[in-house]
Amino acid sequence: MRKGSMTAGTEVTPEELRERMVRGLVERGAIVSSAVEAAFRAVPRHRFAPEVPPEEVYGAPEAIFTKRTDDGRAVSSVSAPWLHARMLEAARSAPGMRVLEIGSGGCNAALLAELVGPAGAVTSVDIDPDVTGRARRLLDGTGYRRVRIRTGDGALPVVDAPAGGWDRIIVTTGSADLPEAWFDQLAADGRLVVPLRFRGLSRTLAFAREGKWLRSDTTIVSGFLAMRGESADAPRVVRLADDDVRLTVDERQPCDEPALREAFSTTRHELWTGVRLTGSEGLLPRLDVWLAGVVAPYGRLRANRAAMERGLVGWVLGTGAATVWNDDSLAYLTLRHAPDHTDRFELGVIGHGPDREHLGASLADAVVRWNETARHQGEPVVRAYRRNDPERPTGVVIEKSDARLTIT
């Protein structure tokens, strides 16, 4: 076993590092249940990333990549401890449950095995035989031989799924859709936890059944490596100013790239909403999701530092800015320091193109409506419907290949 780091002449063991990690996760609220806490204390996390020093495995703020393609693109990883913890808390797994994991790093499967116990069952599926082979070796080496490993496309039905469906389906790779197999093979009282990409956003959502559809009750801001196989679907990237300013468009929403490039080159129009936020509220991620459910089309405008320094864009955060457009104009959300409060920020809209004032006012009105009706209502609720269901949801509908989404 690889030892930990040296501190003031004293060796820190992996067990001590793991205990330190668990205490930190409890203190920050990532771990809230005794069951998840016990699972984290039991699983030797460092054994699932043997290429990395234990102090890095237990202290990493983000994922540790365990496989890359020949061109350097990461395709497999061990998720950050805080994200593992929050997803497991959202899943609410219990002893005796049957759990399907999609994405086989090994570590999360071991944690699930601890949570469901000897009476439960964990099956982990990955499309990459290198990944499943590695997971099998690491699980066997740490005593989790009862976890079943399958090589295959996680978007397709699992042949030996339980007759009543999986009690939990936990996806540990970023998905652009909710495949029909997940609807079909989720138990009547099951829960699905999935990092889902929609409208250029990435959110890990925990769904429970609500009648014929699924309803989210937990939202985690997170990013994952993209899923490969049947449901893989890369977003369209519209370059508004070469690589300096880009618009990410999901769900094949119609978008005239030359017209929007021309629009972006025109004089901008600013409109300030009077809606103010503090840096500590953490409300922008909620607003982004809420707007994705009330305006259409909707994408994310991203800009690099060079674009900011050249004055091409207003204040755009690294996660991007909510953007709407029509045939020849676009408008996006921006921020500025509130004129009379140094600790507050005001939300505004910047528009470009012939219809910039009208389009900007429409987006600004939506922000004001959020402030008046939804700001204090908690996380927006995402509902997922089967695409082939004849009953079509009302309002703004996000059309996926296998599913339809609404946000309220």
Summarize pLDDT for 116-168 with one digit per residue, the tens.
999 999 999 999 999 999 999 999 999 999 999 999 999 999 988 999 999 99
Q: How confident is the prediction for the chain on average, in pLDDT?
A: 91
Q: Residues with Cβ < 8 Å from 241, sequence gap 6 or more?
A: 261, 264, 265, 307, 312
pLDDT of 366 higher than 90:
yes
Question: Given 3-state DSSP classes, what are the helix, strand and coil percentages for the chain, each rounded to the nearest 5?
Answer: 30, 30, 40
Cα-atom radius of gyration of the chain, to the nearest Å? Answer: 23
Query: How does residue 234 score in pLDDT terms, banded at 50, 70 and 90?
Result: confident
CA-based nearest residue to 349, from 362, 366, 368, 331? 331
240, two tokens: 């508004």
Catalytically active residues are: 79
- The per-residue pLDDT for 86 is 96
Q: What is the DSSP letter of 174?
A: B
Instruction: Give yes or no for a contact between 139 and 149, defined as CB atoms under 8 angstroms apart.
Output: yes
- The per-residue pLDDT for 390 is 84
CA-based nearest residue to 77, from 68, 69, 87? 68
CA distance 104 to 42: 19
pLDDT above 70 as % of the chain: 91
- The per-residue pLDDT for 228 is 65
Handedness of CA 352, 356, 359, 362 (dihedral sign): positive
Summarize pLDDT for 92-116 with one digit per residue, the tens.
999 999 999 999 889 999 999 999 9
Query: How does residue 177 score in pLDDT terms, banded at 50, 70 and 90?
Result: very high
- The per-residue pLDDT for 6 is 45
pLDDT of 303 higher than 70:
yes
Looking at the whole model, is its pTM more than 0.85?
Answer: yes
**Which of 27-31, 52-56, 334-338 has the largest mean confidence?**
27-31
Direct distance between the N- and C-terminal alpha carbons of the chain, in angstroms, rounded to an integer: 50
